[in-house]
Amino acid sequence: MVSCRGPPRRRGPPRRITGVTRSIRPLPAVLLAVVLTACSGGVHGSPGGQGVRDPYFPRAGNGGYDVAHYGLTLAYDPGRHRLTGTAVITARATQDLSAFDLDFKGMTVDGVTVEGNGARWNRAGQELTVRPRSDLERGETFRTTVRYSGTPETLTDPDGSKEGWLRTADGALALGEPTGSMAWFPGNHHPSDKATYDIAVTVPQGLTAVSNGEPAGETTRNGRTTFSWHTGQPMASYVAMVAIGHFDLTRTALKNGLTAYVAVDRTQTEASRQVLAQLPDIMEWEEYNFGPYPFSSTGAVVGPEGSAGYALETQNRPVFPGAPETGTLVHELAHQWYGDSVTPASWRDMWLNEGFATYAEWLWREDHGGQTAQQTFDQLYRGDYYDDPEQSKAIWAYPPAKPSSAAHISDSPVYERGAMVLQKIRQTVGDDTFYDIIQGWAAARRHGNASTADFTAYVQKKAPHKDFGPIWRDWLYGDGRPEHP
């Protein structure tokens, strides 16, 4: 058997075939003609899956390939609320592919090429299906270019919150947890596929465009300015971000050598000043507790008041809809370790993000003259942490590792009860081992993905003589309020 080949393409690393040595010998001319005929129909590839079987968002992500890099070139005109974009997606095929999907919602697709050749495509819901001119071979690296334009959509999540492209008075915020990034660029929009990014955004002169990573150039021509940003460490698409507006962008060198890029909407400068001044101290405290910072820059973006319904841990620099509070800044920066660097394998594992970030707030209070994490735990267990009895009861609605539905992945069982699981581990192993565990976990899974089962196995390995069974059973997976605190 010989493999069918399309036009020459860049290739990924050679694939390993156990026990077989493959060699390619020149074929006799007659046989070659037969092979070419057989191959012209693209006979051996099959379509990649329309989703990666996420238990909460089954259409999110796509099967059959793994993205290495996104090159996004965007231009936005806030007056006309019009976005044009080119996405160059470099990916490796994980199977022989006759077609593959990208997640993309709204906008108009103006053209698709694969390896420079025009490709057929069609759209159904959030699936943009691309059929390259010839099949892609498992292991090969291929480049897909999608050109698009139109009015980007604001998406409403199952829990009613808004994401995707959020318009502001003078610009926009583009956010993506859990699935909003598909409103502003086509991609493999599931946390399990992380990639590096180059994002360039052109806006009318006078506005600023901020994104993830570090600045990589700024040019102004014909009344429009292009801001380029480079993200060199793997990033899940749900923490990719663009913020456009009248921002003051400051650079601060931290003691550890990193630069903090902080962009503040001009209406929020005064209100944010005090809290943002704490960013270097929070970073230092978090590195002390969680281990080395996983990325090459940090910072924050403070958008106009109410520009989003939530703060979000966008990579390198979280986004805040108006001046943040200290606890929120601590929470979103802690996500850089837990969520952005160690990313959940699926949306079921969201407590690995939110339990840790919430616990970071408890620890911050404990270390800064407030109540201890154990006191917070006890209040939540007794039911007097919140004034509202309904809110107190809500944390027992379902177990952290089994959210009841997609509409509830951002509810208090994932956050507060997730943090309670960490306090239970700390009670069991003591402070020394506990900090070893949370730092070791961030190091062991740095820039990767992990599931709840990976975490429980890791904890057990770090404290082999302790019995965590009851914690997992009652606190992580068990229904209702556990019998004992």
Task: Judge residue 225's burial from the number of C-beta atoms within 10 Å of its C-beta, 0-12 exposed, 13-18 middle, 19 or more buried.
Answer: middle
Binding piece for Zn ion, criterion CB under 5 A, among 56-64, 321-329, 354-362, 441-449: 354-362
Q: How far is the CB of 311 from Zn ion (least distance, A)?
A: 8
359-398 mask for Zn ion (x: CB under 5 A)?
Answer: ----------------------------------------
Are 12 and 141 spatial neighbours (Cβ–Cβ below 8 Å)? yes
Q: Between 331 and 462, whose beta carbon lies closer to Zn ion?
A: 331
Binding piece for Zn ion, criterion CB under 5 A, among 288-296, 349-357, 378-386, 469-477: 349-357
Task: Judge residue 97's burial from the number of C-beta atoms within 10 Å of its C-beta, 0-12 exposed, 13-18 middle, 19 or more buried.
Answer: buried
DSSP labels, 133-180:
SSPBPTTBEEEEEEEEEE-PPEEE-TTS-EEEEEE-SSSEEEE-TTTG
Residues in the chain: 485
Task: Judge residue 41's burial from the number of C-beta atoms within 10 Å of its C-beta, 0-12 exposed, 13-18 middle, 19 or more buried.
Answer: exposed
Q: How far is the CB of 349 from Zn ion (least distance, A)?
A: 13
Q: Between 95 and 179, whose beta carbon lies closer to Zn ion?
A: 179
Q: Between 200 and 420, whose beta carbon lies closer to Zn ion?
A: 420
Q: How far is the CB of 447 from Zn ion (least distance, A)?
A: 19
Binding piece for Zn ion, criterion CB under 5 A, among 30-38, 43-51, 355-363, 463-471: 355-363
Structure tokens at 365: 């209070």
Q: Between 113 and 412, whose beta carbon lies closer to Zn ion?
A: 412
Closest by alpha carbon to 306, among 357, 271, 350, 261? 271
- What residue is closest to Zn ion based on CB? 357
Q: Between 132 and 418, whose beta carbon lies closer to Zn ion?
A: 418
Q: Between 159 and 436, whose beta carbon lies closer to Zn ion?
A: 159
47-66 mask for Zn ion (x: CB under 5 A)?
Answer: --------------------
Q: How far is the CB of 358 from Zn ion (least distance, A)?
A: 7
Q: Between 330 and 357, whose beta carbon lies closer to Zn ion?
A: 357
Binding piece for Zn ion, criterion CB under 5 A, among 357-365, 373-381, 451-459, 475-483: 357-365
Q: Are strands 141-150 and 82-93 parallel, antiparallel or unpaired?
A: antiparallel
Binding piece for Zn ion, criterion CB under 5 A, among 77-85, 87-95, 279-287, 351-359: 351-359
**How many C-beta neighbours within 10 Å does residue 78 have?**
18
Distance (Å) of CA 258 to CA 214, 232, 255, 279: 11, 14, 7, 12
Order across the sheet with 247-253: list the strands.
Answer: 247-253, 259-265, 297-303, 319-321
Determine if 357 is a binding residue for Zn ion (CB under 5 A): yes
Exposure string of 203-218, with b = 16+ CB inside 10 Å and e = fewer, is bbeebbbbbbbbbeee
Binding piece for Zn ion, criterion CB under 5 A, among 73-81, 346-354, 367-375, 468-476: 346-354
Q: How far is the CB of 14 from Zn ion (least distance, A)?
A: 41
Q: Between 70 and 293, whose beta carbon lies closer to Zn ion?
A: 293
Crossing angle for the helix pair 351-367 and 373-382, to the nearest 10 degrees: 120
Q: Between 93 and 357, whose beta carbon lies closer to Zn ion?
A: 357
Cα Rg of the chain (Å, integer): 24
Q: Between 129 and 314, whose beta carbon lies closer to Zn ion?
A: 314
Q: How far is the CB of 342 from Zn ion (least distance, A)?
A: 13
Say how far apart CA 121 and CA 448 lie, in whole Å. 31
Q: What is the DSSP letter of 106?
A: S
Say how far apart CA 216 and CA 298 lie, in whole Å. 15
Residues in the interface with Zn ion (CB under 5 A) total: 2
Q: Between 170 and 354, whose beta carbon lies closer to Zn ion?
A: 354
Q: Between 146 and 357, whose beta carbon lies closer to Zn ion?
A: 357
Q: How far is the CB of 94 from Zn ion (least distance, A)?
A: 31
Closest by alpha carbon to 192, among 454, 413, 422, 459? 454
Determine if 258 is a binding residue for Zn ion (CB under 5 A): no
Q: How far is the CB of 281 from Zn ion (least distance, A)?
A: 20
Determine if 264 is a binding residue for Zn ion (CB under 5 A): no
Q: How far is the CB of 286 from Zn ion (least distance, A)?
A: 14
Task: Judge residue 299's burial from the number of C-beta atoms within 10 Å of its C-beta, 0-12 exposed, 13-18 middle, 19 or more buried.
Answer: buried
Q: How far is the CB of 340 from Zn ion (least distance, A)?
A: 11
Q: How far is the CB of 126 from Zn ion (least distance, A)?
A: 24
Closest by alpha carbon to 236, among 294, 302, 162? 294
Which residues of this protein are in contact with Zn ion, per CB under 5 A? 354, 357
